[in-house]
Amino acid sequence: MIAPLTNAEWEIIALSLKVTSAAVLMALPIAYGLALVLARRRFPGRFLLDALVHLPLVLPPVVTGYVLLILFGRNGPIGGFLERAFGISLTFQWTGAALAAAVMALPLMVRAMRLSIEAVDQRLVEAAHTLGASKWRAFATIILPLSLPGILAGVILGFARSIGEFGATITFVSNIPGETRTLPLAIYTSLQVPGTDVAVARLVVLAVIISLAALILSEWLVRRASGGRTHVL
């Protein structure tokens, strides 16, 4: 029989869920705004914006973490300003881990939400405008409700990506027990210690179950949002 999780392992799981939840909440409004712009607007530089949004998918995560360190570190332009003006420091903090996870999850969230917004029949929006609805009213009563499955799918995909984030996190905020050591970092750390195979296996199985469940649920929501048509995320 497999032994139950230890208090230290439960602490790692709790920290991972906290970081992941903060990352998704941080990325959600930005992801939906970008998805709305990319789905409904045509403007010069749109393809460049699309490429920048999806850049974290193709960059090595360590590179993304290094860029975050340069920008949000204590000597960085953004990080230095936050610390001087508000006393906020993201380096070596769980909030920094949440930022790294949010950046890595953003492209997947934008993709799912964009597909859902594009599936909304533009004729419904035009009909609402014809009946006197403003752009904001049409958005609130038509686009937003009809794209809700894609929003949920994006949130779940972002959750799954965030809970598995490793490279950008360890580069940006290091591997600090109780502060930035999330589930992937804990697995990596345990692998360096002899005789921890059982503990590693428990954490790996848990990570696989959570990620697989999130992906299955996300795929179901995306299919529902697209009316049964299959999309590759």
What is the full per-residue pLDDT of the chain (233 aa) written as tens digits?
A: 456 777 888 888 899 999 999 999 999 999 999 999 998 888 888 889 999 999 999 999 999 999 999 999 888 899 989 988 888 889 889 999 999 999 999 999 999 899 888 888 888 888 888 888 888 888 888 888 888 888 888 898 899 899 989 999 999 999 998 899 999 999 999 888 888 788 888 888 888 888 888 778 777 766 665 555 544 44
* Dist CA 217 CA 104 (whole Å): 20
HSE of 70, CA atoms in CB hemisphere, 13 A: 6
pLDDT at 3: 63
Q: What is the pTM of this model?
A: 0.85
pLDDT at 165: 92
pLDDT at 221: 67
pLDDT at 106: 95
SS3 breakdown of the chain: % helix, strand, coil, rounded to 5? Answer: 75, 0, 25
Chain centroid to Cα 79, Å, comes to: 21
* Dist CA 142 CA 134 (whole Å): 12
Catalogue the E-assigned strands of 5-77.
none
Asked: is 7-225 a CATH 3.90.230.10 domain? The reply is no
* Tokens 């594009």, located at residue: 118
pLDDT at 63: 95
